Amino acid sequence: MSATPEPSPPLVLVAAAVIIERGRVLLTQRKAGAHLEGAWEFPGGKVEADEDPRDALIRELREEIGVEAQVGDIVEVTYHRYPKKPVLLLFYAAALAEGSPAPAALDVAAVRWAEAADLRDELFPPADVAVLAKVRARLAGA
Ligand code: C5P
């Protein structure tokens, strides 16, 4: 008799923002106790089943860091298989329209503006690392 294989966890769709102002990019830090605690990431979160990913990103930025944002074009799409869930991340270029970013929800520990030299792979969740080269190029004005 063979064991029934575990059903695969469903793919989680995530939208994240690359927000650049004056040569720096906006990052948020995941809180202690959360998946990937302490990691710095591009702000964003899960897209609900009935949501346009751009609307989800606007909602997440409002909820997590208290800003209104305009969401533009896709910068990168990455797929990563975490041990408990596969994620597909849509990275969008975005701009702040209103408000100044600060932790507004319990799942964000801190907010910072980072320069290209601060974007070290080991600070980021594995799913975010694949976009770093493009963000560095944008920060350099390439
Ligand atoms: O932020 P939230 O917990 O809703 O994101 C869902 C999942 O997407 C996280 O647990 C994490 O695995 C992943 N994620 C990521 N990089 C981001 C945002 C989320 O890897 N910038």
Q: What is the pLDDT of residue 107?
A: 81
Pocket lining for ligand 1, CB < 6 angstroms:
12, 14, 16, 35-36, 41-42, 44-46, 82, 87, 89, 125, 127-128
Parse the chain into domains and list their residue ranges. Answer: 12-141
pLDDT bracket for residue 142 (50, 70, 90):
low
Report the separation in Å between the CA atom of 105 and the middle of ligand 1, taken as the mean of its atom positions: 15
DSSP 121: G
Q: Taking residues 18-30, what's their average pLDDT?
A: 97
For residues 120 and 29, give the distance between their C-alpha atoms in angstroms, rounded to a whole number. Answer: 14
- Do 29 and 109 meet the contact criterion of CB atoms below 8 Å apart? yes
Q: What is the pLDDT of residue 141?
A: 87
Query: What percent of the chain stands above pLDDT 90?
Result: 85
- Tell me which residue has its CA closest to atom 10 in ligand 1: 35
Report the separation in Å between the CA atom of 46 and the middle of ligand 1, taken as the mean of its atom positions: 7
Report the predicted TM-score, pTM, of the whole model to 2 decimal places: 0.92
- 32 Cβ neighbours under 8 A, 6+ residues apart: 38, 109
Q: Taking 90 as the threshold, does the pLDDT of residue 52 lie above it? A: yes
pLDDT bracket for residue 34 (50, 70, 90):
confident
Report the separation in Å between the CA atom of 1 and the middle of ligand 1, taken as the mean of its atom positions: 38
State the CATH architecture for 12-141. Alpha-Beta Complex (3.90)
- Do 18 and 70 meet the contact criterion of CB atoms below 8 Å apart? no
- Do 16 and 89 meet the contact criterion of CB atoms below 8 Å apart? yes
Q: What are phi and psi of 17, to 5 degrees?
A: -110, 135
Query: What percent of the chain stands above pLDDT 70?
Result: 98
Q: pLDDT (tens digit, 9 = 90+) per residue, 94-134?
A: 999 999 999 998 889 999 999 999 999 999 999 999 999 99
